[in-house]
Amino acid sequence: MSDALKYSLADFFYNDSKNVLDPPSDFEEWMSDPSVRVGFSFYEQKLLAAPRSSTEILSNVDGKKRRVINLMSYNYLGLSTHPEVIEAAIEGLRKYGLGASGAPLLSGTYDLHVEFARQLAAFKGKEDCILYSSGLGGNVGAIQGILRKGDVFIMDEKCHKSLVDGCTLSGAKMLFFNHNNMQNLDDLLAKNKGKRILVAVEGVYSMDGDLVKLPEVVEVCERYPNTAIYIDEAHSTLMFGKNGKGVAEHFNLEDKVGISFGTLSKSFGGVGGFICSNAPIIRYLKGYSSPFHFSCAPSPVVIAGLIKALEVATRDSSLRDKLWENTKYFKERLDGMHLDLGGTESQVIPIIIGASGEMLYSMAASMQTRGLFLQPVDFPAVPAEARRFRISMSAQLTKAEMDEALNIIEDVVARGMREAGLLKT
């Protein structure tokens, strides 16, 4: 295929093949192009050990096993591998077995689920909480369960795909406002005045690491009756705010948020999702939210570990303090290299490379063979002119690991960009 790199997954969504078992006719041809295969070879590389700050992978780049410094994991606080969390999960496994073996309403709810949901509601300062087996399921299920045809769902254009999918299922009108642009949000609210409206934002935007302008969102939404705010705190729970409750706490606006979503797969170190809100709407959701109602409850093993994870993360501020100390150190050193870090305000740090896919992938390969696991992020996940590496900082990273990672970034990314005339100094 000529110019294969001009195309992306965004170009093969519609399928004109005769048989549903056949992908679009040009998709396979595109996927088999050598340059496209290089890009895809970075996906689904096998981790051979726990998601610690140093781990082992079987590299697709050269087929070798190697130890790598891990800047990719959402195990931001190290809770997935915390010894107390592991012990609690082992105990849970012995007592309850591997899976919940039932949907929550009929036979899948264990004492652990009830206790954990109660703890999460109290932590988020809400009346009640509903648990889901995945974060994506939580977002899809909450939006699909609450909104109806005739309602309006307005989300920041950078919100997660799960919110889009939830809205599609709900039949509500779906609108997007330009990222953090309050005038645009206000215009959309004004055009839909009088309807039931839900406005969705993320605490930390996952590809850019910047924060929602929550005080301004609240101010704009309060001008319109029957407008509620939904916040996705996937990348902020346990990290932001005085008590680690998230970005809503950081801005002291918890009571202005109608629905608070969190995932259990990132800072919590497990898997699952949760929604906290007022008790009646949680009761209603339990009846109408398909990923809750029609799906097996989260594994009690994971919930046993998560109860301990919440305790460890909230008994003092040491883990999040360490995360912010590491983030500050790392960012200052990256700033010193004059790299473009976008507008990051969090532990998610993009290094924006620009439009060249070839440069992105060749840098990613070089870093990996030198022992740094830092994956390329390409269009359509991010704009085509802002391809990037996206660092997830971790409280687990030691100074030696950070220095080693920074040396590799300096040698490969900063030097490469300088040589290409893409860095100012």
Ligand X SMILES: Cc1ncc(COP(=O)(O)O)c(C=O)c1O
Segment lying near ligand X (by CB under 6 A), choices 20-28, 230-238, 311-319, 339-347: 230-238
Q: Does 160 bind ligand X (CB under 6 A)?
A: yes
Min CB(387)–ligand X separation in Å = 19
Binding to ligand X (CB under 6 A) within 384-413 occurs at: none
Q: Which of 112, 177, 141 is nearest to 308 (CA)?
A: 112
- Which residue number has the CB closest to ligand X? 135
* 8 Å CB contact between 139 and 232: yes
Segment lying near ligand X (by CB under 6 A), choices 135-143, 285-293, 344-352, 372-380: 135-143
* 8 Å CB contact between 169 and 144: yes
Which CB atom, from 268 or from 330, has the smaller least distance to ligand X?
Answer: 268
Which CB atom, from 113 or from 160, has the smaller least distance to ligand X?
Answer: 160
- Indicate which single residue of 53, 70, 162, 327 sits in contact with ligand X (rule: CB under 6 A): 162
- Indicate which single residue of 59, 139, 170, 277 sits in contact with ligand X (rule: CB under 6 A): 139
Min CB(211)–ligand X separation in Å = 13
Binding to ligand X (CB under 6 A) within 248-307 occurs at: 263, 265, 273
Q: Does 158 bind ligand X (CB under 6 A)?
A: no
User: Both ends of the chain: CA-CA distance in Å?
Assistant: 38
- Given its phi and psi angles, is residue 421 left (phi above 0), alpha (psi -120 to 50 degrees) or beta? left
Token couple for 172: 């509500």
CA distance 131 to 265: 13
Which CB atom, from 52 or from 235, has the smaller least distance to ligand X?
Answer: 235
In 84-239, beta strands by DSSP E: 128-132, 152-156, 173-177, 197-202, 227-232
Q: Does 346 bind ligand X (CB under 6 A)?
A: no
* 8 Å CB contact between 41 and 56: no
Min CB(123)–ligand X separation in Å = 18
Q: Does 53 bind ligand X (CB under 6 A)?
A: no
CA distance 229 to 128: 17
* 8 Å CB contact between 133 and 127: no
Min CB(129)–ligand X separation in Å = 16
Pairing of β 273-277 and β 197-202: unpaired
Which CB atom, from 110 or from 274, has the smaller least distance to ligand X?
Answer: 274
Which CB atom, from 156 or from 401, has the smaller least distance to ligand X?
Answer: 156
Min CB(139)–ligand X separation in Å = 5
Min CB(94)–ligand X separation in Å = 26
Segment lying near ligand X (by CB under 6 A), choices 26-34, 129-137, 340-348, 414-422: 129-137
- Indicate which single residue of 39, 135, 270, 416 sits in contact with ligand X (rule: CB under 6 A): 135
Segment lying near ligand X (by CB under 6 A), choices 130-138, 177-185, 278-286, 396-404: 130-138
* 8 Å CB contact between 305 and 88: yes
Binding flags for ligand X, 8-47, as an x/- string (CB under 6 A): ----------------------------------------
* 8 Å CB contact between 163 and 139: yes
CA distance 83 to 174: 44
Measured from the Cβ of residue 48, the count of other Cβ atoms closer than 10 Å reads: 11
Measured from the Cβ of residue 380, the count of other Cβ atoms closer than 10 Å reads: 11
Q: Does 232 bind ligand X (CB under 6 A)?
A: yes
Pairing of β 372-373 and β 197-202: unpaired
Which CB atom, from 233 or from 249, has the smaller least distance to ligand X?
Answer: 233
Point out which residues pair with 225 in neighbouring strands.
none
* 8 Å CB contact between 397 and 53: yes
- Indicate which single residue of 57, 234, 297, 412 sits in contact with ligand X (rule: CB under 6 A): 234
What is the residue whose two structure tokens read 């840098």?
363
Which CB atom, from 211 or from 363, has the smaller least distance to ligand X?
Answer: 211
CA neighbours closer than 13 Å in the CB half-sphere of residue 217: 31
- The footprint of ligand X on this chain (CB under 6 A) covers a number of residues equal to 14
**How is 47-99 classified by DSSP, letter by letter?**
E-S-S-SEEEEE-TTTS-EEEEEE---S-TTSGGG-HHHHHHHHHHHHHH-S-
Q: Does 75 bind ligand X (CB under 6 A)?
A: no
Q: Which residues lie near ligand X (CB under 6 A)?
A: 134-136, 139, 160, 162, 202, 206, 232, 234-235, 263, 265, 273
